[in-house]
A and B are shown apart, each in its own frame.
Chain A
């Protein structure tokens, strides 16, 4: 089954990392991608820009309106995600623990089962 592993990041935490830690994280993600690809569990990965780059389109009754947003109160935000196809939730959790962010206080990973997906290939 498909799982979205959402990387919750905090810019203040990322900024405190040393160059070495930063490199280890990058290499860790590279290794994670390679390993999940090799095992046939990888579907996609994306890193997202800062929420300050977001636009929100929503209707308040009339035509959809576009605003800057989404004005989250929390310091943490969705920094990116992995989309994986795994046997079960236990495997998804096991993989999430291997993502470098899992070992850095202040960062977190959120797992959500996927209910529908169209990956554009068909």
Chain B
């Protein structure tokens, strides 16, 4: 569809994103649809003309062309819906042309606007910033294309309704937090895709990492952005050891660490080391620090569990003790430091406050297995198997349960 030379698909997506960002900056997010269509028109024109004559400044060419197409479209729209678009045409540009580094952030913040539903934020970000097609996004989420198209349409309509959706520059931090959360959800979903899923032509984890890199270029000073990028890289590095060829999960204690991607680990650790000094660490940087400690350890026994436990306690404080999953992870570290009995008692207390907490019984089962209480462990495994909504995790738990019954048969 797109000529391989002189522009690769990644570069096309980059150019499209930057052109869209520039148009949105000029005409405002209320014109999201028009801006997007104008960029698509310009891309089509580029696709037809560039093979014959490649411009000296491809981005400049694309933006200039998209602006002309925007004006054309706005005019023809105006003929149809005169009143609505007159305001848009008369409106002065939202902001003067700014340095390019801010533009990605603008579109990211727009797509991740806190007033949009999470599913809309993710779909719009993948489309407008990552440059995936609606079909690719539908494929990633295994829903009909129509469903994704509708989510994007509704999200864009909502942005238009919001009018001036972005807070003034002074409050940009809050918006970066919203972007981080969307990117984290995107990445987490990538790591929860079920085993044996059909092959996909777009990889959510790769896109999430790409987008976080992009965000970091815009706000290099944010330790949380750096922390999230590091967390993603360190998590991604373990992926080859985490998921076996048959799609079954392997837990951290049984992973073959030789399969971990050293290059990603090195980059992740470097980022953590850059961000940590003097920082008042936020949740993502703290999780990255924990992931870095795991990545540095040759095995479970030599892992610095004291430090990990301390970091989890800090993480609980930073997140206001509102996230029971963090507490569950803290208890796992606590088992290594204070012993299994202490950890099991903490699990009971946590369950009393949060019945049905995901993975609680899986953690309990692992601990009981280590404590050599096979009957109790089997009971916990059965409850964990019933409680999970993830097929790969279910296979993993069944495998542990079978192994347990086999060993004690």
Contact = CB atoms under 8 A, between A and B. Distances in A.
- Answer whether A and B are interacting partners: yes
B146 A121 contact: yes
A120 B399 contact: no
A11 B382 contact: yes
Interface string A95-122: 0000000000000000000000001111
Interface residues of B, number: 24
Nearest to A16: B402
Given A23-B246, A26-B246, A29-B196, A47 B391 contact: yes
A53 B389 contact: yes
Nearest to A120: B144
B146 A15 contact: no
A94 to B, nearest CB: 23
B386 A50 contact: yes
A18 interface: yes
Given A15-B401, A19-B402, A26-B247, A120 B385 contact: no
Given A26-B246, A119-B144, A121-B145, A49 B389 contact: yes
A93 interface: no
Given A15-B382, A17-B402, A50 B144 contact: no
A14 B398 contact: yes
A19 B399 CA distance: 7
B121 to A, nearest CB: 21
Nearest to B150: A120
Contacts of A26: 195-196, 246-247, 395
Contact of A30 (B145, B196, B387, B401): B196
B147 interface: yes
Contacts of B195: 26
A26 B392 CA distance: 11
Contacts of B194: 47
Interface string B336-348: 0000000000000
A103 B48 CA distance: 56
Interface string B372-409: 00000000001001111101000100110110010000
Interface residues of A, number: 21
Contacts of A119: 144
B259 interface: no
B398 A50 contact: no
Interface in B254-303: none
A22 B395 contact: yes
Interface string B143-160: 111110000000000000
Contacts of B389: 49, 53
A11 B386 CA distance: 9
A8 B399 CA distance: 21
A120 B143 contact: yes
A74 interface: no
Most buried by B among A15, A17, A33, A52: A15
A9 B289 CA distance: 43
Interface in A1-52: 11, 14-15, 17-19, 22-23, 26, 29-30, 33, 47, 49-50, 52
A19 B246 CA distance: 11
B398 to A, nearest CB: 6
A122 B146 CA distance: 7
A121 B144 contact: yes
Interface in B185-201: 194-196, 198
Contacts of B391: 47
A71 B399 CA distance: 27
Nearest to B389: A49
B147 A49 contact: no
B385 A11 contact: yes
A52 B386 contact: yes
Contacts of A19: 399, 402
Interface in B92-146: 143-146
A34 to B, nearest CB: 9
A53 B387 contact: yes
Nearest to B378: A15
B40 to A, nearest CB: 22
Given A26-B196, A26-B247, 5 more contacts: A50-B385, A53-B386, A120-B144, A120-B146, A121-B146
A-B interface, 6 closest residue pairs, ranked by CB to CB distance from nearest? A50-B386, A120-B144, A49-B389, A52-B386, A121-B144, A23-B246
18 contacts: A11-B386, A14-B398, A15-B401, A15-B402, A19-B402, A22-B399, A29-B196, A30-B196, A47-B194, A47-B391, A50-B387, A52-B386, A52-B387, A119-B144, A120-B143, A120-B144, A120-B147, A122-B146
